[in-house]
């Protein structure tokens, strides 16, 4: 399994209830189901991936994450995961509020846009950065947002999401191996992974 | 004449190759119940008996009786879902593409029961059956039956087979309505449920088409208020009813691919009212075939049962979420992109209600051209979905059994 997914999996309590938004073919959920005994549901907009996941034995709803999440009652899940999808979300704050409405905790991971390679790409070539993590040109990218780790932190504090855990990792795109980045993560990490909860009212 | 159906002709497969992926020769069985002095109370308030339900089974029931799957057919289907009918000229089952060794519903692993419905004419008690009190066919004295009545009769069949839990109840279209009814009415019996291309209630449009079909039959001069037995069927009306129905089961794209505007047996328009177009000829063939196969009154009763079906109203005082409250099954809901009779939105509505009840549910809209009937034709994505889902359900069941 991808290193970023391994990291997320290590945060999930056994036998918990998990909702995975944009779950693809349900790789993470399958792992969590088999290894940690979680009760999982995934939401995936791509019919092909959704059906692959269902065939592999995962509960998946083929649909749009923004619409599908609305149907769940408050606090239905222990964890709601948004893995590498944040950069494609039109209204991130709204979605995160929804995640923390239907779940106790949210897990959010995203490619760190301020990684030094992106900076060098932009600085030296003067063109929109492309990388293994963000391999698209400006005109065909599904990624409508650029999310540096630093900006995500301030976003959380502005919108009242408390960061319970934070890990920055460095890994090649979709690789099984990687390492945690403790020194200058905003510069050196390829991905940021966050465990969030709703800030208790002061 | 376009003799072939839009479905592939299974009989074109060489006989010697068939056994490798079919359940082989099968015979329909009959379950008799509600003998006098007993009878079955129906939802309309009347009671009926004695009753017969036609069914077939495939595969083997395992020792702890945990691998039974109930398959339910669409509006005018029958109990003959798989294999080749011994008593009917080796006709293939209506879902032979799905049920068999190594197929989507694998008869090497599961014990499959396909039950016919009350009100039908394919071996079960319906308006064409003989009323023992008069010695003549019931015709319109047959009481109105509902989807709920059909399912209650099927429950008696399942009880009689000594099965107390169904690994899955699977069905498309009106069969899917029965699946939903099973899941809500007998939650403890239904481990998992697979409603395909179905709805929790007919839209005004679906009712409208059914009304046209019924009127076509009832306006036929041979209908005689339903009392046509022994005098010749209201064939014209019944054929027209089937033609309109058949169009709703297909899609613009399926019809275009199959027929487009091609002419039948001619190079130019006739400029009269001959059937110029292939699509017209095909529909007429479907209509005629249906008249030979089916009873017109049964079509009246069954379409009415489908129109009356309203899960939200019956079980939830109008709230679909409330209607699903008693359900415990794990669901796999499937819709087809080209189904305009029961469009995807109606499947999504039931998925939404299931989610609100915290039920385990998977849903997929399969991209498929054949319209509402997409589940009846060879459909590898559907077969794989069902196969994977059933495999999970059987595996999830296993631990609780081994613990006992």
- Tens digit of pLDDT at every position of chain A (202 positions): 889 999 999 999 999 999 999 999 999 999 999 999 999 999 999 999 999 999 999 999 999 999 999 999 999 999 999 999 999 999 999 999 999 999 999 999 999 999 999 999 999 999 999 988 888 999 999 999 999 999 999 999 999 999 999 999 998 766 778 889 999 999 999 999 999 999 877 6
Q: pLDDT tier at B143 (50, 70, 90 boundaries)?
A: very high
Contact at CB, A39 and B360, closer than 8 angstroms? yes
Mean pLDDT of B82-95: 92
Give the nearest partner residue to A57 out of B361, B384, B391, using CB atoms. B391
Please give the share of chain B, as a percent, with pLDDT higher than 90: 91
Q: What is the pLDDT of chain B when averaged over all its residues?
A: 93
| pLDDT score at B257 | 95
Please give the share of chain B, as a percent, with pLDDT higher than 70: 93
Cis peptide before B263 (omega within 30 of 0): no
**Closest CA of chain A from B338, distance in Å:** 14
Contact at CB, A72 and B384, closer than 8 angstroms? no
Q: pLDDT tier at B200 (50, 70, 90 boundaries)?
A: very high
- Tally Cβ neighbours within 10 Å of residue B136: 12
Contact at CB, A55 and B387, closer than 8 angstroms? yes
Catalytic residue among B66, B173, B329, B338: B173
Q: Which of chain B's residues have a Cβ under 8 Å away from the Cβ of A57? A: 388-389, 391-392, 395
* Chain B CB within 8 Å of residue A184 CB: no
Catalytic residue among B372, B373, B374, B383: B372
* Chain B CB within 8 Å of residue A45 CB: no
Q: pLDDT tier at B20 (50, 70, 90 boundaries)?
A: low
Residue B184 and residue A154: Cα distance in Å, rounded? 48
CATH numbers and ranges of domains, chain B: 10-202+311-403 (3.40.50.1820)
Token pair of B339, please? 């189904």
Residue B334 and residue B164: Cα distance in Å, rounded? 26
CA angle B391, B330, A1 (to 5 degrees): 55
SS3 content of chain B, % helix, strand, coil (to 5): 40, 15, 45
Contact at CB, A47 and B389, closer than 8 angstroms? no
Determine the number of helices (DSSP H) and then strands (DSSP E) in chain A: 8, 8
State the alpha helices, DSSP H only, in B224-271: 235-249, 252-258
Give the nearest partner residue to A60 out of B330, B362, B384, using CB atoms. B362
Nearest-by-CA chain B residue for A40: B360
**Closest CA of chain A from B394, distance in Å:** 11
Please state the domain extents for chain A.
Answer: 3-115+147-198
SS3 A178: coil
Q: What are phi and psi of A33, to 5 degrees?
A: -65, -50
Whether B131 is a known active-site residue: answer no
Helices A27-36 and A3-11: crossing angle, nearest 10°? 40
Whether B337 is a known active-site residue: answer no
Instruction: Suggest the residue from B106, B192, B364, B365 to mutate for an interface test with chain A (most A CBs closer than 10 A).
Output: B364
**Closest CA of chain A from B395, distance in Å:** 10
Interface size, chain A vs chain B, as Cβ–Cβ contacts under 8 Å: 58
The DSSP element (H or E) to which B321 belongs, if any, is helix B320-323
- How do residues B322-357 score in pLDDT, each as one tens digit? 999 999 999 999 999 999 999 999 999 999 999 999
The burial class, CB within 10 Å (0-12 / 13-18 / 19+), for B142 is buried
Contact at CB, B358 and A51, closer than 8 angstroms? no
CATH of A3-115+147-198, one of 3.40.50.20, 3.30.1780.10, 3.40.50.920, 3.40.50.150: 3.40.50.150
- How do residues B287-308 score in pLDDT, each as one tens digit? 999 999 999 999 999 999 999 9
Contact at CB, A51 and B367, closer than 8 angstroms? no
SS3 A101: helix
* Chain B CB within 8 Å of residue A141 CB: no
Give the nearest partner residue to A71 out of B355, B360, B395, using CB atoms. B355
Residues A52, A56, A61, A64: what is their CA dihedral angle, to the nearest 10 degrees?
Answer: -40
Instruction: Suggest the residue from A50, A59, A66 to mutate for an interface test with chain B (most B CBs closer than 10 A).
Output: A59
Q: Which of chain A's residues have a Cβ under 8 Å away from the Cβ of B355? A: 61, 68, 71-72
- How do residues B48-72 score in pLDDT, each as one tens digit? 999 999 999 999 999 999 999 999 9
Whether B173 is a known active-site residue: answer yes
**Closest CA of chain A from B31, distance in Å:** 35
Nearest-by-CA chain B residue for A56: B388
Mean pLDDT of B15-26: 70
Q: Which of chain A's residues have a Cβ under 8 Å away from the Cβ of B391? A: 57
State the alpha helices, DSSP H only, in A125-183: 149-159
Instruction: Suggest the residue from B320, B332, B348, B355 to mutate for an interface test with chain A (most A CBs closer than 10 A).
Output: B355
- How do residues B207-234 score in pLDDT, each as one tens digit? 999 999 999 999 999 999 999 999 999 9
DSSP A121: I
């Amino acid at each position: 399994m991808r290193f970023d997914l391994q990291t997320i999996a290590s945060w999930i309590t056994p036998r918990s209830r998990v909702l995975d938004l944009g779950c693809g073919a349900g790789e993470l959920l399958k792992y969590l189901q088999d290894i940690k005994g979680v009760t999982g549901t995934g939401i995936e907009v791509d019919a092909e991936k959704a059906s692959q996941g269902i065939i592999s034995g995962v509960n998946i709803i083929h649909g749009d994450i923004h619409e599908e999440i609305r149907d769940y009652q408050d606090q239905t899940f222990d964890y709601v995961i948004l893995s590498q999808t944040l950069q494609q979300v039109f209204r991130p704050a709204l979605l995160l509020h929804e995640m923390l409405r239907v779940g106790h905790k949210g897990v959010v991971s995203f490619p760190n846009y301020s990684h030094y390679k992106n900076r060098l790409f932009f600085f030296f070539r003067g063109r929109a950065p492309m990388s293994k993590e963000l391999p698209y040109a400006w005109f065909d990218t599904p990624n409508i947002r650029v999310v540096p780790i630093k900006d995500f932190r301030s976003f959380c504090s502005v919108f009242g999401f408390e960061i319970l855990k934070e890990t920055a990792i460095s890994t090649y795109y979709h690789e099984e191996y990687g390492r945690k980045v403790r020194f200058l993560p905003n510069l050196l990490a390829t991905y940021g992974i966050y465990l969030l909860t709703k800030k208790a009212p002061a | 004449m376009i003799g072939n159906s839009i479905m592939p002709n299974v009989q074109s497969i060489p006989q010697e190759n068939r056994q490798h992926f079919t359940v082989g020769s099968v015979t329909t069985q009959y379950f008799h119940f509600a003998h006098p002095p007993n009878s079955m109370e129906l939802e309309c308030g009347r009671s009926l008996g004695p009753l017969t339900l036609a069914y077939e089974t495939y595969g083997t029931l395992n020792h702890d009786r945990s691998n039974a799957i109930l398959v339910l057919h669409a509006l005018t289907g029958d109990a003959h879902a798989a294999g080749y009918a011994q008593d009917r000229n080796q006709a293939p089952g209506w879902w032979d593409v799905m049920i068999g060794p190594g197929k989507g519903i694998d008869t090497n692993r599961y014990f499959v029961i396909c039950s016919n419905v009350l009100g039908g004419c394919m071996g079960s008690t319906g308006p064409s059956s003989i009323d023992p009190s008069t010695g003549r066919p019931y015709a319109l004295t047959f009481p109105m039956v509902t989807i709920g009545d059909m399912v209650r009769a099927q429950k008696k069949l399942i009880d009689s087979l000594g099965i107390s839990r169904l690994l899955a109840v699977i069905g498309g279209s009106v069969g899917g309505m029965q699946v939903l009814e099973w899941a809500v009415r007998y939650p403890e019996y239904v481990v998992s449920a697979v409603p395909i291309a179905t709805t929790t209630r007919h839209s005004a449009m679906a009712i409208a088409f059914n009304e046209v079909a019924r009127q076509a039959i009832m306006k036929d001069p041979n209908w005689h208020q339903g009392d046509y037995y022994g005098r010749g069927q209201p064939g014209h009306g019944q054929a027209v009813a089937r033609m309109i129905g058949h169009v709703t089961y297909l899609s613009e794209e399926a019809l275009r691919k199959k027929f487009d505007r091609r002419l039948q047996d001619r190079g130019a328009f006739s400029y009269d009212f001959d059937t110029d177009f292939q699509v017209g000829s095909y529909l007429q063939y479907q209509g005629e075939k249906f008249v030979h196969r089916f009873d017109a009154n049964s079509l009246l009763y069954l379409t009415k049962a489908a129109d009356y079906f309203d899960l939200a109203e019956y079980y939830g005082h109008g709230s679909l979420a409330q209607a699903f409250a008693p359900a415990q099954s794990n669901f796999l809901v499937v819709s087809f992109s080209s189904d305009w009779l029961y469009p995807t939105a109606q499947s999504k509505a039931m998925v939404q209600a299931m989610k609100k009840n915290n039920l385990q549910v998977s849903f997929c809209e399969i991209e498929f051209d054949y319209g509402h009937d997409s589940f009846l034709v060879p459909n590898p994505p559907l077969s794989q979905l069902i196969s994977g889902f059933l495999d999970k359900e059987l595996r999830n069941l296993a631990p609780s059994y081994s613990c006992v």
